[in-house]
């Protein structure tokens, strides 16, 4: 089975290239496509955070990983399946980030710390609702903390 997903918006950001770290402190705007009315964003300003689903459209098909690999090619970290990591080279190249809402104006949503580059197609916007967040304690392997150490650092 296959289905088509079309962008509902596009990211406007100062970052032009996808890199692994230093996404902290960045603002981005997400502008709805012309076919969508500003009404689509009504009420979103009552929330503190939003989840943005987007496509890593700059990742070539030849770079897609369907099996296991060392995250970021680092042999010090275990070889794990693509679905045990958040790499951009995943089969459907879909990214997801929880962002703080800064402003909602007309057809434009401004968010903080979206790890998507300028021109990235957005396929969905969802408010972050406490009841949809994980219930119970979160667990992750130690290598993830190492990998993420500078991910949200400011700079870049």
Predicted model pTM: 0.91
Residue 26, SS3 per DSSP: coil
> How many C-alpha atoms does 134 have within 13 Å on its Cβ side?
4
Q: H or E stretch including 100? A: strand 94-105
pLDDT recorded at residue 13? 92
As given in the structure block, the two tokens for residue 96 are 């997801």
As given in the structure block, the two tokens for residue 154 are 């400011």
Q: pLDDT category, 22, cuts 50, 70, 90?
A: low
Please, what's the b/e burial string for 11-46 (b: 16 or more CB within 10 A of its CB; e: otherwise)? bebebeeeeebbbeebbbbbbbeeeeeeebbeeeee
Distance CA 94, CA 53 (A): 7
The residue ranges of every structural domain in the chain are 9-129+136-147
CATH superfamily of 9-129+136-147: YaeB-like (2.40.30.70)
Q: What is the mean pLDDT of residues 45-72?
A: 95
Give the tens place of pLDDT for each residue, 79-90.
999 999 999 999
């Amino acid at each position: 089975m296959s289905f088509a997903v079309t962008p509902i918006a596009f990211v406007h950001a100062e970052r032009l290239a996808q890199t692994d770290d230093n996404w902290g402190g960045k603002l981005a705007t997400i502008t709805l496509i012309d076919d969508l009315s500003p009404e689509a964003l009504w009420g979103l300003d009552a929330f503190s955070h939003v989840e943005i689903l987007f496509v890593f459209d700059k990742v070539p098909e030849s770079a897609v990983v369907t099996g296991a690999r060392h995250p970021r090619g680092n042999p010090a970290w275990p070889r794990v399946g693509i679905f045990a990591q958040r790499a951009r080279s995943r089969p459907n190249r879909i990214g997801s980030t929880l962002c703080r809402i800064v402003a909602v104006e007309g057809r434009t949503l401004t968010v903080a710390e979206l790890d998507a580059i300028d021109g990235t197609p957005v396929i969905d916007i969802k408010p972050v609702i406490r009841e949809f967040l994980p219930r119970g304690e979160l667990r992750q392997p130690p290598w993830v903390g190492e990998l993420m150490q500078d991910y949200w650092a400011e700079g870049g």
